[in-house]
């Protein structure tokens, strides 16, 4: 009976250690995930949400691998905790690829339209952000949840536990190369492609105003050039938002491929 009691205690300790590793990976994802990682999302809610998700994911993961954690050294377990948290943070960063690309597009448009000095407070990130960056970021955030991007992120999180059990996570060189050489360029492409029509239109309007100034020197083109650039910029941003939904749909569906590829590189 004593051995049975001892086995029960050991199994309970293994379950607790496994749950903590799962909780750290889930918590790392929620720290960087769209909206959930924002400063306006209460930290207490984020913690309890991570706790609930980890509680649902832990039971299928209990087994021989979980029991082996009970015999692991303290230093090894702390290293495993840090690795699980880092993996969750990396997964959250990959899930934010669409929003980072739109944020970059907004910065490019703001610079060209002269909005860089007119900053407003971003309620999501709690920092100053120019107007077009704010508009595109919030539009992308709405599109992300409207297209079930949060379900996609949770599905990738579940896949990560199937591919990399708790305690076996590792930040490999292949994972870092994929983030820097594949995901980061995709963020750049999203930003440049989405901002390109507006940038081209504003540039052509500036060239047209320059020609008008050459043809009619008496006209004070500088006086209404800012208003013209703003009107052209807002018009083309509005036209670009029309195509945000189909583009975001493809990108959200590609988010699962991004996250699963990230997990495969880390396995």
In the chain, what are the domain boundaries? 2-266
Assigned token pair, 114: 């002269």
pTM for this predicted structure: 0.77
How high is the pLDDT of residue 210? 82
Full pLDDT tens readout for the chain, 267 residues: 333 444 443 457 777 888 888 999 999 888 888 878 777 778 888 889 999 999 888 888 776 566 666 667 788 888 888 888 888 888 888 888 778 888 888 888 888 887 766 665 555 555 666 778 888 888 888 888 888 888 888 888 888 888 888 877 777 777 777 778 877 888 888 888 888 888 999 889 888 888 888 887 777 777 777 788 888 888 888 888 877 777 777 777 766 676 677 677 665
Give one DSSP letter per residue of 52-106, joined into a string.
Answer: HHHHHHSGGG-SHHHHHHTTS-HHHHHHHHHHHHHHHHHHHHHHTHHHHHHHHHH
Q: How many CA atoms lie within 13 A of 52 on its CB side?
A: 8
């Amino acid at each position: 009976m004593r051995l049975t009691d001892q086995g029960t205690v050991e199994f309970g300790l293994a379950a607790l250690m496994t749950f903590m590793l799962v909780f750290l990976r889930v918590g790392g994802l929620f720290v960087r995930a769209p909206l959930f990682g924002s400063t306006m999302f209460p930290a207490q809610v984020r913690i309890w949400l991570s706790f609930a998700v980890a509680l649902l994911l832990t039971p299928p993961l209990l087994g021989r691998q979980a029991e082996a954690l009970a015999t692991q050294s303290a230093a090894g377990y702390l290293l495993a905790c840090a690795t699980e948290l880092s993996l969750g943070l990396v997964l959250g960063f990959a899930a934010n690829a669409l929003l980072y690309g739109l944020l970059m597009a907004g910065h490019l448009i703001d610079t060209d339209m002269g909005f860089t000095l007119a900053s407003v407070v971003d309620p999501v990130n709690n920092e100053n952000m120019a107007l077009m960056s704010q508009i595109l970021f919030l539009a992308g955030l709405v599109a992300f949840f409207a297209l079930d991007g949060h379900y996609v992120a949770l599905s990738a999180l579940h896949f990560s536990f199937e591919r990399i059990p708790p305690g076996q996570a590792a930040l490999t060189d292949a994972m870092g190369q994929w983030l820097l050489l594949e995901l980061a360029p995709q963020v750049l492409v999203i930003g440049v492609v989405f901002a390109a029509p507006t940038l081209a239109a504003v540039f052509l309007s500036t060239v047209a105003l320059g020609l008008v100034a050459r043809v009619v020197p008496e006209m004070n083109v500088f006086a209404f050039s800012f208003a013209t650039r703003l009107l052209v910029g807002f018009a083309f941003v509005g036209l670009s938002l029309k195509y945000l939904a189909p583009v975001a749909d493809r990108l959200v569906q590609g988010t699962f491929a991004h996250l699963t590829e990230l997990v495969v590189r880390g396995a």
